[in-house]
Structure 1
Amino acid sequence: YSVFDMLYQHYTDARIAFLRKHSRVSKYDSENLMYGAIVDILKSRPQLSLNVICHQPLNMLIRDPKHLNDEECRYAMNTATHVDFLIYNRITKRAVLAIEVDGFHYHKPGTRLYERDLMKDRILALYGIPLLRFPTNGSREIEQIKQALDKYEKSR
């Protein structure tokens, strides 16, 4: 099962019903579906005091770019660079998990977008922010998010 199954035409009614029930945070249905799934997961785990924000600017996460080379610094500090979703602790405001939704047509090896993805992956790793990257033709996204939150809960 995939969150993104509802993007296919034969799931149109299910997608419309799901999107009516959840907030629209993006112009992309793929991101709206992921946001709804994340919100549902977080509601089922109130003890973790977590929340999610859509399109969190990377420069708000990386306040001190001292660990970055010049190219990484330019990329990270660009106001347009963001993570699709950031799950954070509501009390401490610390980042818990970054999530990227990758349209499988656009994030192919050898493309500039793919190179930027790799750079974002390196930057988040340097600053200790776990990242899950989900292609829209993938599966088991909910399970992987739950596993990452289980790992976070055990580390607290």
Structure 2
Amino acid sequence: MSHSGINEVMSLVAVVVAGLLALGIIGAILAVLSGRRGRSLPYIPQASLNTPAEQAFYSAVHRAVGAAALIACKVRIADVLQVRFRKRHGRDQRWWRYFRLISAKHVDLVVCEPRGGRILAAIELDDLSHRRRDRKRRDRFVDDAFASAGVPLLRFPASGRYDAREIQERLSPYLTTPKEGSVTCHNSRLTMR
């Protein structure tokens, strides 16, 4: 092979190596960037938020309250109740101890005022799992926590069918009828008409 042929081959090899190196660098940059935005984590979506029994119960509660209330599903207890006191100093663990007791638990439904979101009552749908000893202990704690906070917690047994009128009768003491056309923002103490 002539000297000019060797130079051409070397130039071609240099171009190919430079191209592969550039592709590798671009690939590494894209991998880093995609890892920051949406790295592959081991999560998949739930099939649905509610079980069929919970959905049937939700529908009955919705029929029972109509437009008089807003219903939220599977609400974390820490979003309904709060720990009464705050940390006094850095080593005070009381707040965290009580917060941890409610932070990973939820109630099935929370009934709120439709406009201001004020919590009117919480509802638990008790299926057969609530007969287990660990669930009974959890249920006693939840009952005590809600009673301590003064938030009504109603329990309904799970069944194949729910009577909206019965649910309405049990909820009626807690449902309020806000003034039509007014919305109160409690943080600003401002009423809009």
Q: Please report the TM-score for the alignment, with normalisation by the length of structure 1.
A: 0.65
Tell me the secondary structure at the aligned position of residue 92 of structure 1.
coil
- Match among 94, 101, 117 for residue 118 of structure 2: 94
Are 1:42 and 2:52 counterparts? no
**Equivalent residue letter for 1:103:** D
User: C-alpha offsets along residues 90-120 of structure 1, whole Å, 9 cap, x if unaligned?
Assistant: 222111111111112x1126x1111001100
Structure 2: where are the runs of 5+ without partners? 1-47, 86-93, 179-193
After TM superposition, the runs of 4+ consecutive aligned structure 1 residues lying more than 3 A away are: 68-73, 137-144, 153-156
Determine the structure 1 residue equivalent to 2:80: 61
Contact 1:100 1:132 in 2 (8 A): yes
> Aligned equivalents of 1:71 and 1:103: distance in 2?
29
> Aligned equivalents of 1:71 and 1:144: distance in 2?
38
Contact 1:56 1:85 in 2 (8 A): yes
Tell me the secondary structure at the aligned position of residue 63 of structure 1.
coil
Determine the structure 1 residue equivalent to 2:100: 74
Tell me the secondary structure at the aligned position of residue 170 of structure 2.
helix
Contact 2:120 2:151 in 1 (8 A): yes
> Aligned equivalents of 1:64 and 1:70: distance in 2?
9
Give the share of equivalent positions with the same residue, in percent.
24
Aligned length, in residue pairs: 124
- Specify the structure having the higher radius of gyration (Cα): 2
Determine the structure 2 residue equivalent to 1:84: 108
Are 1:114 and 2:145 counterparts? no
> Aligned equivalents of 2:170 and 2:74: distance in 1?
20
**Equivalent residue letter for 1:101:** L
> Aligned equivalents of 1:140 and 1:32: distance in 2?
11
**Equivalent residue letter for 1:38:** V
Q: 5 Å matches for 1:128-139?
A: 128-137=150-159
Tell me the secondary structure at the aligned position of residue 116 of structure 2.
coil
Quick one: higher RCO (CA 8 Å, sep 6+), 1 or 2?
Answer: 1
User: C-alpha offsets along residues 58-81 of structure 1, whole Å, 9 cap, x if unaligned?
Assistant: 111123344x998654221x2x31
Question: How big is the alpha-carbon RMSD for the aligned residues of Structure 1 and Structure 2?
Answer: 3.0
Are 1:127 and 2:127 counterparts? no
Contact 1:134 1:141 in 2 (8 A): no
> Aligned equivalents of 2:150 and 2:135: distance in 1?
22
TM superposition shift of 1:123: 0.6
Contact 2:53 2:160 in 1 (8 A): no
> Aligned equivalents of 2:82 and 2:176: distance in 1?
27
- Match among 25, 28, 32 for residue 55 of structure 2: 32
**Equivalent residue letter for 2:174:** Y
Q: In 2 relative to 1, CA 154–55 (structure 1 residues): closer, same or farther, beyond 3 Å?
A: closer
